[in-house]
A and B are shown apart, each in its own frame.
Chain A
Amino acid sequence: MIAALAAALATAAGPPSPPLPPSPAASSTPVISAALTDTNVQVKSDFRGARIVLYGAVFDAAARPSDVVILVRGPEQPVRLTRKQKVAGLWLNSRPVVFRGAPGFYRAASNRPLEDIANFGVLRRLGAGVDHLAINAPEEQRTETRYGVKDVVVSRLGSDYYVWRRAVVRLKEKAGLYHEDDEGVRFVDRGLFRAEIALPTGAPTGVYRADILLFQNGVAVSRRTLTLTVEKVGLERALYVWAHERPWSYGLAAMAFAMLAGWAASAAFRRD
């Protein structure tokens, strides 16, 4: 029956079919397999975000209880954050803090809450869940010797550090760029699961990495990694590349175009 499922999956995923995992009967170790319906998202003038379906299956001859965690990470984008502070009755921005290691897009999906699937240390090491993302502000840190212990990392933000870090996640969630969904993976049949990755309009371009992890008994026993490319195409790409690689010629051309348009308009509406 599992072999039939694998065959069905191969057709559902469409070409190119993922390499089939070793025959379940031959090995006793559980294996996870997955594929994306679309591995290349094109950003055109009508781009309003995209929904990508991820299909996968768990092959486990022993049929042990399994959990599936999907982590999708976009290209890294440093984050600059400022906090509004009341100074003399006015709300002013504080000095900005730069956080490194933050993915431009992050989605964690699982079939049940992450903390029920694995313990804190496991989740932390994998960066599973928005609270476990490896985001830090290296420019705010320095190492010093405290209580005789060498190289203790101290942040200038002090205990506020966690407030800042949570703010990064909160603002990214608000922009639809970070999301954690503990019902995001649905088992549609025995061993066969499905998840959706929603890319917002503001999703950064670049290579995305999706890690599909199989957990049994709180341990990640199998992993499959897929990549997904989000790229601008057509006129959008041409303009973007032009503006960033030859900014001066782009600026001159844009201005010449604007002035020409203004002149053309006055000629068209000439009243005398």
Chain B
Amino acid sequence: MDIYLPIAEVAVNAPLIVALGALVGFISGMFGIGGGFLMTPMLVFLGIPAPVAVSSMANHVAASSMSSVIAYSRRKAVDLRMGAVLAAGGVAGAFLGVELFRWLRLLGQADLVVALSYLLFLTVIGGLMLIESLGTILRRRRGEAPPPRRDRRPVWLYGLPFKMRFPRSRLYISVIPPVLLGAFVGVLSAIMGVGGGFILVPAMIYVLRMPAGMVVGTSLLQIIITAGLTGVLQAGRNQTVDIVLATLLLLGGIVGAQFGARASSRFRAEELRAILALIVLMVGLRMGLGLFLTPDEPFVLLSGANG
């Protein structure tokens, strides 16, 4: 059953898109991530123009994060104040990112920057996660105790001005690092069509030193605000949000996420992280591969001839 997407102006197989949404939703529910980094490349691979895939993903990410954040907030696992500070940075980042993406499209370098960002961020994060999770698994097999967590807090985090209290996360830190982190993730979400959870979550744990229980819920809150704004900006500035595509993905994604969340309780956290790390690494390498292989067709048509 094919369905014509009014903005992307291509016909896609509707059950296939719903199934893709369900698969990515399952992974996202299982690992507590948005899954945009998986979905956007797959949509492009299915023949949906990259700008439309990236922009429509913002709507999808906002919707799927919305469905999870409510569950986290019920468990009081959301630091609203930290979320607001991150989102303030995210808003600035989204504005910057949408304009940057527009400018890159005009220069014809959008594909390159997207591929490079994927290669760089996904391989680095995937690699780090894989090393960390394999280390944990090995230690557990050998029956060793986990290394004591270094509680020495980095000086730069505490030496900066504009300190603020975050009672829920039990932190008293400068707002500059979270604002910058939020802005960085906002730019990435506009360029890569991702929510940015895969960067936000580790950064909140290892850089901001937030308690692990608060991290996922708070990052989801920041992602909703940033992705929500990105989606509106992409529609307003670039006219690239396809609501039919986003809805199809949602249909599968929402159901998949619920099953994923249930399945995740059957695995240990470090095993889940190791699997996720492998997926992240593979997507990053696949996206970056195009930069190194000799293309069959050296010429590429770019969309948006009128800018």
Residues on A lying within 8 angstroms of B by beta carbon are: 43-48, 77-86, 89-96, 98, 164, 167-168, 170-172, 175, 201-202, 232, 235-237, 239-240, 243-244, 247-248, 250-252, 254-255, 257-259, 261-263, 265-267, 269-270, 272
Closest to B65 in A: A262
Given A93-B108, A261-B63, A261-B254, CB of A247 within 8 Å of CB of B301: no
Set of chain B residues within 8 Å of A78, measured between Cβ atoms: 305-306
Set of chain A residues within 8 Å of B3, measured between Cβ atoms: 45-46
Q: Nearest Cβ in chain B — how far from A127, in angstroms?
A: 20
Say whether B68 contacts A266, CB under 8 Å: yes
Q: Nearest Cβ in chain B — how far from A74, in angstroms?
A: 13
Say whether B9 contacts A269, CB under 8 Å: no
Set of chain B residues within 8 Å of A175, measured between Cβ atoms: 301
Kindly supply a per-residue 1/0 record for chain B positions 289-306, scoring 1 wherever the CB is within 8 Å of any chain A CB and 0 otherwise: 011111101111111111
Q: Nearest Cβ in chain B — how far from A261, in angstroms?
A: 5
Closest to A43 in B: B4
Set of chain B residues within 8 Å of A46, measured between Cβ atoms: 2-4
Per CB-CB distance, the 9 closest pairs between chain A and chain B, nearest first, are A251-B235, A262-B66, A96-B108, A167-B299, A262-B63, A265-B254, A258-B63, A78-B305, A80-B302
Residues on B lying within 8 angstroms of A by beta carbon are: 2-4, 6-7, 9-11, 59-60, 62-68, 70-71, 74, 107-109, 111-112, 224, 228, 231-237, 239, 241, 243-244, 246-247, 250, 254-255, 257-258, 290-295, 297-306
Q: Nearest Cβ in chain B — how far from A159, in angstroms?
A: 16
Give the total number of A-B pairs whose CB atoms are below 8 A apart: 178
Given A48-B11, A201-B10, A259-B228, CB of A247 within 8 Å of CB of B4: no
Closest to B288 in A: A90
Set of chain B residues within 8 Å of A250, measured between Cβ atoms: 235, 241, 243
Set of chain A residues within 8 Å of B9, measured between Cβ atoms: 202
Q: Nearest Cβ in chain B — how far from A174, in angstroms?
A: 8
Closest to B3 in A: A45
Given A261-B63, A262-B63, CB of A80 within 8 Å of CB of B290: no
Say whether B67 contacts A262, CB under 8 Å: yes
Q: Nearest Cβ in chain B — how far from A130, in angstroms?
A: 15
- Which one of B59, B258, B305 lies within 8 Å of A269 (CB-CB)? B258
Set of chain B residues within 8 Å of A232, measured between Cβ atoms: 6
Set of chain A residues within 8 Å of B305, measured between Cβ atoms: 77-80, 98
Say whether A262 contacts B64, CB under 8 Å: yes
- Which one of A85, A93, A251, A266 lies within 8 Å of B241 (CB-CB)? A251
- Which one of A91, A95, A243 lies within 8 Å of B7 (CB-CB)? A243
Say whether B301 contacts A255, CB under 8 Å: no
Say whether B59 contacts A258, CB under 8 Å: yes
Q: Nearest Cβ in chain B — how far from A165, in angstroms?
A: 10
Complex formed: what's the CA distance from A161 to B250 in Å?
45
Closest to B229 in A: A255
Complex formed: what's the CA distance from A259 to B306 in Å?
31
Set of chain A residues within 8 Å of B237, measured between Cβ atoms: 247
- Which one of A43, A93, A262 lies within 8 Å of B62 (CB-CB)? A262
Please list 10 pairs of residues, one from A and one from B, whose beta carbons are closer than 8 Å in the complex, sorted by A's number: A44-B4, A48-B4, A91-B291, A96-B108, A168-B301, A255-B235, A258-B60, A258-B246, A259-B62, A263-B70
Instruction: Tell which of B65, B257, B301 has the most Cβ of chain A within 10 Å.
Output: B301
Set of chain A residues within 8 Å of B10, measured between Cβ atoms: 201-202
Instruction: Tell which of A96, A164, A244, A261 has the most Cβ of chain B within 10 Å.
Output: A261
Set of chain B residues within 8 Å of A202, measured between Cβ atoms: 9-10
Closest to B113 in A: A93
Q: Nearest Cβ in chain B — how far from A233, in angstroms?
A: 11
Given A250-B235, A259-B228, CB of A82 within 8 Å of CB of B6: no
Say whether B302 contacts A201, CB under 8 Å: no
Instruction: Tell which of A47, A82, A262 has the most Cβ of chain B within 10 Å.
Output: A262
Say whether B7 contacts A89, CB under 8 Å: no
Say whether B6 contacts A254, CB under 8 Å: no
Set of chain B residues within 8 Å of A170, measured between Cβ atoms: 297, 299
Q: Nearest Cβ in chain B — how far from A22, in angstroms?
A: 43
Say whether B232 contacts A248, CB under 8 Å: yes
Complex formed: what's the CA distance from A262 to B59 in Å?
10
Say whether B231 contacts A81, CB under 8 Å: no
Closest to A234 in B: B6
Apart from A46-B3, A261-B250, A266-B66, what are 5 other A-B pairs with CB-CB below 8 Å?
A: A81-B300, A85-B298, A168-B299, A171-B299, A243-B241
Complex formed: what's the CA distance from A98 to B107 in Å?
11
- Which one of B233, B235, B258, B299 lies within 8 Å of A83 (CB-CB)? B299
Complex formed: what's the CA distance from A80 to B300 in Å?
9
Set of chain A residues within 8 Å of B292, measured between Cβ atoms: 89-91
